[in-house]
Amino acid sequence: MDQRARIRLARQLMDEFAVATGLIGTAPPRRYLWTDAFAVCNFLGMYRENGESRELDLALRLVDQVHHILGRHRQDDPRQGWISGLAEEEGERHPTRGGLRIGKKHPERKADQAFDSRLEWERDGQYFHYLTQWMHALQRVGEEMGQPIFHDWAVELARTAHARFMRSDSPVGQRRMVWKMSVELDRVLVPSMGQHDPLDALLAYLELQTGTILDNEIRETRVLCAQGQWETDDPLGIGVLLVGSFRLARMITCNHIQEAALMARLAAASRISLDAYTDGDPLTGSADSRLAFRELGLAIGLHAIERVEPSPALGEGVREALDAFLRYQPLTSRVDAFWSVPQHRQGRSWTAHADINAVMLATSLAPDGYLGRHLKTP
């Protein structure tokens, strides 16, 4: 598939997503934070590609819908208004101060309801790693628009999320980051810590940092990251590591932050993870036996890492890792090509997760909006 065909399919997927989820047209709005974070970036990339105001309008409209739907209580919730508890006008000025709901189908688990691990996946609440994706989306909008308000909203979200998701088992116990919180961030719903959540946090905070505004948050997540084991054989998790490596390399090279040690750890974990995932041939199954959004997460990560050029600022050992990543690049075209076939997007595996699959395929086909500018060594 040539570049023009990739862009054309990406635009088709995003147009269909906009109609299906009520961003345009008559369907009631259906918002889901992870998917919408990627979608905002995709619309920004299309705006940059074409210079058409329609795509920028869609990105901004989506930001507004997310804040006014996921930043407020559900329609089936007896509670009303902003989940932050702010009054209407104050909530309009600070829509992320209370965090943002996931957008799951079912309401959050009540305090007197028993935990059900299967059902919890379908219940609302707040996920930290979804919030970091939204921080990135707001940062990208701010970069494109040159308006600091989007950065301010992202920083407010970072501060709120960090304060509520960081917990300790006792007043003197070691701090950790829980995986899922209630809608109002007043109850822990899943106490375990996500494998990559502290890393997501650190990278988001470093990207948002200006002056000393997030010094405390960065200091605390460094402690968690120092203990982290990031290796994984999950393709979406590997994609997170690779995108993180790209973002960190950009900050080191362009913003001159001193993070060579973290870069080396990220590159090593990514390399080990790719070796584990490709031990065998994981991309040979039928469409109905595969999860598109997880594979596409990997493809997006590989698109990201191929943009990183070796630089002395990245530290020793990174050049070798970047060279090693080249042998995995064919996976990108295999994933993109497979899910670009219309018949592969008609089965149950695709339609059960249609929104996230479509948006992440569009991201992989046209990653500039999500990844931002190409990283070139000065």
Same domain, 194 and 45: yes
Residue 91 near residue 82, CB atoms below 8 Å: yes
Same domain, 204 and 234: no
Residue 310: the pLDDT is 87
CA distance 246 to 238: 13
Structure tokens that stand for 131 in this block: 């919030």
Given phi > 0 = left and psi -120 to 50 = alpha, else beta, which region is 372? left
Residue 317: the pLDDT is 81
CA distance 181 to 184: 8
DSSP type of residue 283 = T
pLDDT of 377 above 60: no
Provide the pLDDT confidence category of residue 372 given band limits of 50, 70 and 90.
confident
Residue 309: the pLDDT is 87
The per-residue pLDDT for range 133-171, each reduced to its tens digit, is 999 999 999 999 999 999 999 999 999 999 999 998 766
Structure tokens that stand for 29 in this block: 């709005």
pLDDT of 231 above 60: yes
Same domain, 273 and 325: yes
Domain end (from 212, 238, 259): 212
Residue 170: the pLDDT is 62
Same domain, 178 and 299: no
CA distance 288 to 351: 10
Provide the pLDDT confidence category of residue 378 given band limits of 50, 70 and 90.
very low
Residue 98 lies in a domain: yes
pLDDT of 30 above 50: yes
CA distance 205 to 135: 9
Structure tokens that stand for 220 in this block: 């605390």
The per-residue pLDDT for range 70-105, each reduced to its tens digit, is 999 999 999 999 999 999 999 999 999 999 999 999
List 167's β-bridge partners, or say none.
176
Residue 203: the pLDDT is 98
Average pLDDT, the chain: 94
Q: Which helix (H) or strand (E) holds 305?
A: helix 292-305
pLDDT of 62 above 90: yes
Q: Residue 54: give its domain's CATH number.
A: 1.50.10.10
Residue 198: the pLDDT is 97
pLDDT of 336 above 50: yes
Same domain, 195 and 60: yes
Report the candidate in 51, 101, 57 with the shortest Cα–Cα distance to residue 79.
Answer: 101
Number of domains, the chain: 2
Across residues 102-124, what is the average pLDDT? 96
Provide the pLDDT confidence category of residue 376 given band limits of 50, 70 and 90.
very low
Report the candidate in 174, 182, 179 with the shortest Cα–Cα distance to residue 190.
Answer: 179
Same domain, 251 and 304: yes
DSSP type of residue 308 = P
Residue 217 lies in a domain: no
Task: Give me the phi and psi of 182, to 5 degrees please.
Answer: -70, 170
The per-residue pLDDT for range 253-296, each reduced to its tens digit, is 988 999 999 999 999 999 999 999 999 888 999 999 999 999 99
Across residues 186-207, what is the average pLDDT? 96
pLDDT of 132 above 90: yes
User: pTM to 2 decimals?
Assistant: 0.96
Tally of CB atoms within 10 A around 140: 23
Residue 204 near residue 146, CB atoms below 8 Å: no
Same domain, 184 and 236: no
Residue 155 near residue 214, CB atoms below 8 Å: yes
Q: Which domain holds residue 256?
A: 229-367
Residue 351 burial class via C-beta count within 10 angstroms: exposed 0-12, middle 13-18, buried 19 and up = exposed
